[in-house]
Chain A
Amino acid sequence: MRNAFSSALVAAAKSDPRILLLTGDHGYTLFDEFRQACPDQYINAGVAEQNMVGVAAGLAKGGFKPFVYGLSAFVPIRVLEQIKLDVCYENLPVIFIGDGAGVVYSSLGASHQSTEDIAALRAIPNITILSPADHYEMTQCMNLALRTDRPIYLRIGKSDLPTVHLSVPDFQLGELCQIKHGTNKMCFIATGSMVSTAITVSEKFGEIAVWSAPCIKPLDTEKVIYISKRHELVVTLEEHSTYGGLGSVIAEITSEHSPTKVYRIGIQDRFSKFCGSYQYLMKAHDLDFESVLNIAKRLNK
C-alpha cells in the first residue's frame, strides 16, 4: 500500500512541478524513488512538524500543492491546530499523509500509536478523511486526492495486509465500496486494516454483507441509510478508538435517519498496556480475527 502511495506520488510529481513533498524527517526508504525522480520537490522540514504545516499552508497559498508526510501520531495529532487554522480555515490544497496509523508501531508504545486521529480531525470543517484498506483503494484515494483542491488527510494503517479488491475500485469521495453481498441480519462496515478482517470473519457465517469505507468524511448518508434499512445490526470495524471514528459516524447517521442497532468494534478507550508484535497488540485490543469472530458470533445469536 505504501508502494502504491509512493508510485502515485512520484508519477504525479514528475508531471506537475507544483507538487511538493514535505516530511518531518520521516519516511525512511519510502521516498527514495521520489528523491531520485524529483529531488527539487522534496523538502525535509526537519523534526519540526508545527512549522512544516505552516510552511505547507504558505506554499499552497503561493500556488503549490504540498503533500505533508508524517507518522499519524504526529500528523495530524501534534499539529492539529496548524491543520485547523493555517490549512482548513482557508480550505487550502494540502494533503496530509498519516502513516503507521493504529497500532502499527506496536513495539514503540503510546507515542507512536495513533487511535484518535480520525476523531480529532473529523470536527474540523473542510477536511476530507481517507482511509484505504489495500493498495487498490490507495491508488484510487491518490487519484481523488490529486484532483481535489481542498485539505485531505490520508490515513495509512497496516500496509501489508491481504488485498480486499481485485482491481482499483471506482469510488468517489464519500462513497462506500461493497465488497460482499449478503442477506444476514448483520452486516459489516469496516475501514483500513479491519476490512480484510471483516471479510475473513464474514466467511465463517456466509451471507454477510461487507462494506469498505475508504472515505470517512464525507460519508454517503443515503447509502448508510440504505444499508441500515436492510439489516438489523450494523457492525463497524476500525483500528481506531470507538469514539469519534467510523463507528461514531455510522451511529450518528443511523440514529438520526434510520435507527438501527450499531455495534462498534475498535479500540476501547485505552492505551496499549504492553508492547509486542502487531498481531499481539491487535489481539490485546480484541481486534484480531479470533476476537472479532467471537464478537460476531455473540452478536449473531
Chain B
Amino acid sequence: MQKFDTKDLRQTILKMAYAGSTVHIGCAFSIVEILAVLYRSHLKFANNDPEDPFRDYLVLSKGHGVMAQYACMHELGWLTDEDIQNYFHDATVLKGLSDAHVKGLEVSSGSLGHGLSVGIGLALAAKRKQTKQGCFVIVGDGEINEGSIWEALLFATHFELSNLLVIVDENGYQAMGTTHEVMQLGNISDKFRAFGFETREVHGHDELELDRVIKDLMNLNSKAPRAIVAHTVKGKGVSFMEDDNRWHYTRLTEDTYKSAIAELNSQEP
C-alpha cells in the first residue's frame, strides 16, 4: 500500500531536479499534496495499470509541475529508481513537461491551456460510454491567463460534465512574477461559479481537507462540473524555496540540494 508521504515525494522531486539539473521545482512543490490525495484516495486504476481502459484520468494541464506526478508514479512502481536518477539524460523519455508518450501521463501539456480541453474530451467520452470514469484536471493560476481555458469552462458546463473536477493550483505566481503583478485574476472562485461550476476553496496543502472536499464535490447530486481553488504556496516544503519565485527557474547546486534534503528529513512526519 502506497502512502504517498509528501516528504518522500518532495525528496524524489529534488533527486530528479538535481539529477537533471532542471527547473520548475516550485511549480512541482505546490501540487504535491493535491496529487498525493488524488492518487491515494480518488484515482482508480485496475491492477495498478496506468493504461487500464476504465481508469480515472488525471490530467496535468500545468505540465510544469510534472516532477510531482513523476514522484507519485515512482511510488506506484510505474517509474523506477533509474528513471529518477537518469532524469534528463540522453535518450530518456521523461521530459520536463507532461508528455502523453509516457505511460501514466494523459496529455502533452506545458504549452498552457491545452490539457483542460483534452481532459474535457476524455470526460465527455466517458459520459457518452457511461463508464463512470472521472477526470481530474490540474491547472495553474498562471495558466488560466489562456483564453482556451475559458472556452473550455463554457463547454464543460454546457455539456454537463459532472465527472470533471478542475483543480486550480492557486500559488499566486507565474513565470515572471505574482499573478497580481502580471495579470490580475480577481476572485477565481467567483469566476468559476459564474461559469457554472460547483466550486470550493481549500487549503491546498491540507490533505484531510482536500480529501474531504473532493469527496463532497464528487458525491454532489448536480449536473455541473466541479472545481476546487486550492490555495497553495509555490515551493512549499523547503523554507528557502517557499513563496520565492526564483525557484520557478533556479537549478539546484550541491549545497542547495543537500540543505533542501536535510530540511525535509528534519521535518516531523
- A residues with a Cβ closer than 8 A to B are 43, 45-46, 48, 50-64, 81-82, 85-86, 89-90
Q: Is B124 on the interface with A (CB-CB < 8 A)?
A: yes
Residue contact A58 to B108, C-beta cutoff 8 Å: no
A-B contact pairs, 5 of them (CB 8 A): A51-B152, A58-B117, A58-B120, A58-B124, A86-B108
Majority SS at the chain B contact face: helix
Q: Given the complex of chains A and B, what is the CA–CA distance between A60 and B114 in angstroms? A: 15
Interchain CA distance A235-B1 in the complex, whole Å = 68
Q: Is B158 an interface residue (CB 8 A)?
A: yes
**Contact present for A89 and B100 (CB under 8 Å):** yes
Q: A45-B155, A62-B121 are in contact. Are A54 and B128 (CB under 8 A)?
A: no
Q: Mark B54-94, 1 if CB is under 8 A from A, else 0.
A: 00000000000000000000000000000000000000000
Q: Tell whether, in the assembled complex, residue B155 and residue A55 are in contact, meaning their CB atoms are under 8 Å apart.
A: yes
Let me know if B151 is at the binding interface, CB within 8 A: yes
Q: Measured between alpha carbons, how far is A48 from B114 in the docked complex, in Å?
A: 13
> Is A50's CB under 8 angstroms from B151's CB?
yes
Indicate if B252 sits at the interface (CB-CB under 8 A).
no
Chain B residues with a Cβ closer than 8 Å to the other chain, count: 30
Which 10 interchain pairs have the tightest Cβ spacing? A58-B121, A54-B117, A62-B125, A48-B151, A51-B151, A55-B121, A50-B148, A58-B122, A58-B118, A59-B121
Closest residue of B by beta carbon distance from A61: B122
Contacts of B123 in A (CB 8 A): 58
Q: Is the CB of B129 within 8 A of A54?
A: no
Bound: A46/B117 CA distance, A: 13
Please measure, in the bound complex, the distance between the C-alpha atom of A82 and the C-alpha atom of B100, giving whole angstroms. 14
Known: A48-B155, A51-B148. A61 touches B125 (CB 8 A): yes
* Bound form: Cα–Cα A63–B129 in Å: 9
With most chain B CB atoms within 10 A of its CB, the pick from A51, A60, A63, A89 is A51
B114, A59: Cβ atoms closer than 8 Å: no
Cβ contacts under 8 Å, A61 to chain B: 106, 118, 121-122, 125
Our pick among B113, B119, B158, B159 for the contact of A50 (Cβ within 8 Å) is B113
Please pick, from A48, A64, A82, A89, the residue contacting B125 in the complex, using a CB distance under 8 A.
A64
Residue of B114, B126, B147, B159 with most chain A CB atoms under a 10 A cut-off: B114
Contacts of B121 in A (CB 8 A): 54-62
Known A50-B148, A50-B151, A54-B120; judge A85-B125 contact (CB<8 A).
no
Give residues 156-205 of B contacting A (CB, 8 Å): 158-159
Task: State the CA gap A46–B159 with chains docked (Å).
Answer: 11
Do A63 and B108 contact each other (CB < 8 Å), given the known contacts A54-B116, A55-B120?
no
In the docked arrangement, what's the CA distance between A90 and B107, Å? 9
Inter-chain contacts of A63 with B (CB < 8 A): 125, 129
| Nearest-Cβ distance from residue A93 to partner chain B, whole angstroms | 13
**A residues within 8 A CB of B111?**
81, 85
User: Closest CB of chain A to B99's CB: distance in Å?
Assistant: 8
Q: In the complex, what distance in Å separates the CA atom of A85 from the CA atom of B115?
A: 10
The answer to whether B144 has its CB under 8 Å from any CB of chain A is no
Nearest CB in chain B to that of A63: its residue: B125
Q: How far is the CA of A54 from the CA of B153 in the complex (A)?
A: 13
Hey, which chain B residues are within 8 Å of A59, CB to CB? 121-122, 124-125
- A-chain residues with CB within 8 Å of residue B128 when the two chains form the complex: 62, 64
Contact B108 A62 (CB under 8 A): no
Q: Are B125 and A86 in contact (CB under 8 A)?
A: no
- Does any Cβ of A come within 8 Å of B217's Cβ? no
A43–B161 CA distance with the chains assembled, in angstroms: 14
User: Contacts of B116 on A, CB cut-off 8 Å?
Assistant: 54
> Would B129 and A51 count as touching, CB distance under 8 A?
no
Q: Which residues of B contact A54 (CB under 8 A)?
A: 114-118, 120-121, 148, 152
Given A46-B154, A48-B154; A58-B125 close (CB under 8 Å): yes
CB closest chain-B residue, reference A66:
B121
